């Protein structure tokens, strides 16, 4: 039976060292071990004296002697606005050093400033989870669970940052986010053709590449340049850097995408640093520009009144690619695995399964039927099992009889051996 391991205390807590039978604490941000003493200046010894060690640690923190600056306990000076301000400064530094995306910084500024308007002057110790939920519900336009999920994620990140770096107690531990919705909205072939006929050439090229590669629209495809294109004997490959995951991957592209890429490389050759996919003004696609253009496109086509199509967005092109890969859209119905899809779209297998495999598989079950050898026929029905010939039936019946005789002979041999063994024992 494995030995039970106790969870190690965080830095700044009192802990007992059995080797010396004394109590110590580790200064936050360092590996320095500091001994704890009682009021008489004697070392606190014995594992049973935890309460005395905690009191000694509290005296040490209050005195400030030898304790790092900035790690003193919260004396009630921390309010919600101060926690938000510290996190926004952290986001600005992360953006300047390339560790955080501009989208995350902008989202944090928007949500945290709004939270400060609601309860910024409230002491952190008095903040409750119910107040955060009331803040979310006070916005009638924040009806989407995805919006609530994003807001709660940023608020939790701010208070976790305050707890880890400033020693304040996080009052929102355990605050639950709404579950993520599966990506079920994808474009049909008719929807795809309708989109192409309703937009200009730059937007048409952008959407075409999105649907046929599955890249993230604005942090991957919009930044692709001619330097990221490679060709070999089998075809064209793109080297894609994802600012979301900070990873680079190589993906093969279909021949029609390769043909479009060669055409765009004539206007953005190697060494120019100009992105291949640009808007009608010749500038790189930005998130705001792409979102506004797609909203205008939906309004033009009347999709904003459709209960399903009004949910389409630029990211629906990425989801369309994922669904087509799983269903074998381009290779005769032989769908790819979740691991292959994850490598192509730059997700982990777990994320790819949660977003595209788990829920969508209950709505689209053709790969499941194909996996058990019953693909759909041209008339939309599953093929009937092929009838066995008369010779095959006789052969299977004869084989069953032969197996039965062999089994009986084996059982008879076992009974004979047992009988002989019994006689030998009686003698």
- Give domain status of residue 179, yes or no: no
**Residue 107 dihedral angles phi and psi, to the nearest 5°:** -65, -40
Structure tokens at 223: 């930044």
Residue 349 sits in which domain range? Answer: 189-371
Question: How many structural domains compose the chain?
Answer: 3
Question: What is each CA distance from 352 to 185, 210, 319, 331, 341, in whole angstroms?
Answer: 15, 17, 10, 20, 7
Q: How many residues does the chain have?
A: 427
Residue 323 belongs to a domain with what CATH number?
Answer: 1.10.443.10
Q: Do 151 and 97 belong together in one domain?
A: yes
Give me 151's structure tokens.
């807001």
Separation of alpha carbons 204 and 193, rounded Å: 10
Q: Do 233 and 158 lie in a common domain? A: no
Q: Does residue 214 sit in the same domain as residue 346?
A: yes
Is 387 a domain residue?
Answer: no
Q: 30 and 135: one domain?
A: no
Q: Are residues 158 and 193 in the same domain?
A: no
Residue 354 lies in a domain: yes
Q: Are residues 58 and 122 in the same domain?
A: no
Three-class DSSP category at 248: strand
Over the stretch 127-137, which tens digit does the pLDDT of each residue have?
999 999 999 99
pTM confidence score = 0.61
**pLDDT in single tens digits along all 427 residues of the chain:** 455 555 555 556 788 888 888 988 887 767 778 888 888 788 898 989 888 888 888 887 776 655 655 444 444 578 999 999 999 999 999 989 878 888 889 999 999 999 999 999 999 988 999 999 999 999 999 888 889 999 999 999 999 999 888 888 889 988 999 887 766 688 999 999 999 999 999 999 999 999 999 999 998 999 999 999 999 989 999 999 887 777 899 999 999 999 999 999 999 999 999 999 999 899 999 988 999 999 999 999 999 999 889 889 999 999 999 989 988 889 887 888 889 999 999 988 888 888 887 665 555 556 566 667 766 655 445 555 555 555 555 555 556 566 666 656 666 665 555 555 555 555 4
Contact 237, 257 (CB under 8 A): no
Q: Of 17, 38, 14, which Cα lies nearest the Cα of 26?
A: 14
Type and span of the H or E element at 352: helix 349-352
Spacing of C-alpha 167 from chain mean position: 29
- For the CA atoms of 67, 71, 75, 78, the dihedral, rounded to the nearest 10 degrees, stands at 170
Can you tell me which residue has the tokens 């095959």? Answer: 392
């Amino acid at each position: 039976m494995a030995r039970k391991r106790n969870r190690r205390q965080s830095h700044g807590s009192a802990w007992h060292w059995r080797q010396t039978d004394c109590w110590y604490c580790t200064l936050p941000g360092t590996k320095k071990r500091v001994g704890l003493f009682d009021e008489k200046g004697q070392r606190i010894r014995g594992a049973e004296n935890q309460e005395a060690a905690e009191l000694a640690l509290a005296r040490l923190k209050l005195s400030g002697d030898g304790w790092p600056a900035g790690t003193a306990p919260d004396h009630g000076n921390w309010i919600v606005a101060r926690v938000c301000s510290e996190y926004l400064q952290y986001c600005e530094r992360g953006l300047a050093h390339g560790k955080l995306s501009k989208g995350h910084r902008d989202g944090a500024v928007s949500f945290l400033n709004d939270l400060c308007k609601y309860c910024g002057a409230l002491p952190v110790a008095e903040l409750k989870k119910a107040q955060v939920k009331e803040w979310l519900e006070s916005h009638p336009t924040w009806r989407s669970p995805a919006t609530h999920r994003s807001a709660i994620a940023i608020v939790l990140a701010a208070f976790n940052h305050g707890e880890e770096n400033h020693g304040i107690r996080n009052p929102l531990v355990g605050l639950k986010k709404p579950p993520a919705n599966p990506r079920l909205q994808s474009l049909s072939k008719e929807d795809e053709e309708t989109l192409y006929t309703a937009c200009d050439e730059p937007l048409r090229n952008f959407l075409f590449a999105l649907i046929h590669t599955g890249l993230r629209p604005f942090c991957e495809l919009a930044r692709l340049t001619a330097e990221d294109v490679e060709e070999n004997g089998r075809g064209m490959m793109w080297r894609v850097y994802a600012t979301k995951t900070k990873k680079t991957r190589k993906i093969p592209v279909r021949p029609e995408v390769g043909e479009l890429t060669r055409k765009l490389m004539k206007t953005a050759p190697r060494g120019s640093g100009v992105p291949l996919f640009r808007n009608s003004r010749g500038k790189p696609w930005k998130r705001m520009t792409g979102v506004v253009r797609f909203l205008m496109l939906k309004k033009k086509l009347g999709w904003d009144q459709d209960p399903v199509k009004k949910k389409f967005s630029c990211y629906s092109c990425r989801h369309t690619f994922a669904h087509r890969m799983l269903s074998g859209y381009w290779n005769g119905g032989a769908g790819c695995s979740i691991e292959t899809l994850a490598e192509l779209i730059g997700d982990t297998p777990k994320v790819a399964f949660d977003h595209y495999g788990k829920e969508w598989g209950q709505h689209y079950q053709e790969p499941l039927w194909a996996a058990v050898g019953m693909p759909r026929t041209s008339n939309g029905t599953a093929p009937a099992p092929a009838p066995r010939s008369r010779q095959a039936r006789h052969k299977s019946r004869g084989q069953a009889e032969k197996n039965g005789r062999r089994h009986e002979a084996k059982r008879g041999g076992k009974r004979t051996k047992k009988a002989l063994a019994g006689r030998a024992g009686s003698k």
